[in-house]
Amino acid sequence: MQIGSLRVTFPFVMAPMAGYTDLPFRLLVRRLGCELAWTEMISAEGLARRMPSTRELLKTHPEDRPLVVQLFGANPESLARAAVQAEEAGADALDINMGCPVKKVVQTGAGAALLKDLKRAEAVIRAVRKAVSLPLTIKIRLGWKEGEAVYRTLALMAEGQGVEALILHPRYALQGFRGSADWSAVAELKGSLKIPVIGSGDIVTPEQALKRKEETGCDGVMIGRQALRTPWIFTQIREMEERGTYSIPHIQGRREWLFSHWQWVDGHYTGQAQVQALRRFLFILTRGLPGSGAFRQRTAMAKTPDTLKELFHEYFDSLGRME
């Protein structure tokens, strides 16, 4: 998959997810087979004002490549300034979020609100395209609500303005994650555009990821929520491509990956932010394991990283005795 000057050899990519796809998690999924990853959604206004907490989200690492920085905003000038900062911080590509349906984002005119204002969407794209030379993508939905599909018009406009790849989550903004993603719309866009099209939505297994790519002819598949639950899905897709089957990670394999992630979190966060980040991923990555409910209840009460670490080792020691 070729996105402008960026060549991607493994087109199954990690989605941007606020609060989750931070640097430690991106490093984890890269070790588990992911090649191309997106940052969390980053406020263009926050970057334009050089807010330290927002600039922290641009932090990267030599192993965190190639990296797409996703920006959200409604002001073309602010987005242009933010794009320059992202380029200076080492981004390999930029993405403009035009699909987030979260109320606090939409209320500012950003995210999925741009699906209701294509003139502003065009102004945003033009401003960012003029400001930087990095490969540029946009992430969109079908439209604001059913009966108001704008994805075809928006996609063609974006291509004409120099956008070099398009990611479509084929639901309407007001659907949130309800219903099913309509991948026929991904196939339709692939047939209409010259630039790469990446499909997103409802990918839960390696088989499904490969099937969606084959059925729609899309250039890439973006994986979001399932990669939080099973970050090794990228390794499994690679195995499926190579030999038609894939392995299921054993419990101690999960332990090793979690501990590796732990070390990155330890170096990236301090204080309560560290505790919250560790707890968040312990909750997700132990889901479905024996005794995980009781384990999560205990970790919810932990106040320090050391306490969490002790609980972590106790829990996985007990699982090891079950294997």
Q: Which residues are catalytic?
A: 100
Give exposure, 167-204, as e/b (b: 16+ Cβ within 10 Å).
bbbbbbbebeeeeebbbebbbbbbeebebbbbbbbbbe
Q: In whole angstroms, give the CA distance from residue 115 to residue 122.
A: 11
**Helix, strand, or coil here: 124?**
helix
Q: In whole angstroms, give the CA distance from residue 268 to residue 246.
A: 32
**Helix, strand, or coil here: 132?**
coil
Residues pairing with 199 in the sheet: 168, 221
Phi, psi of 124, rounded to the nearest 5 degrees: -65, -50
Cite the DSSP H helix spans in the chain: 23-31, 44-48, 52-55, 76-88, 103-106, 118-131, 151-160, 184-192, 206-216, 225-229, 233-243, 251-268, 271-285, 292-301, 305-322
Contacts of 9 (CB under 8 A, 6+ apart): 35
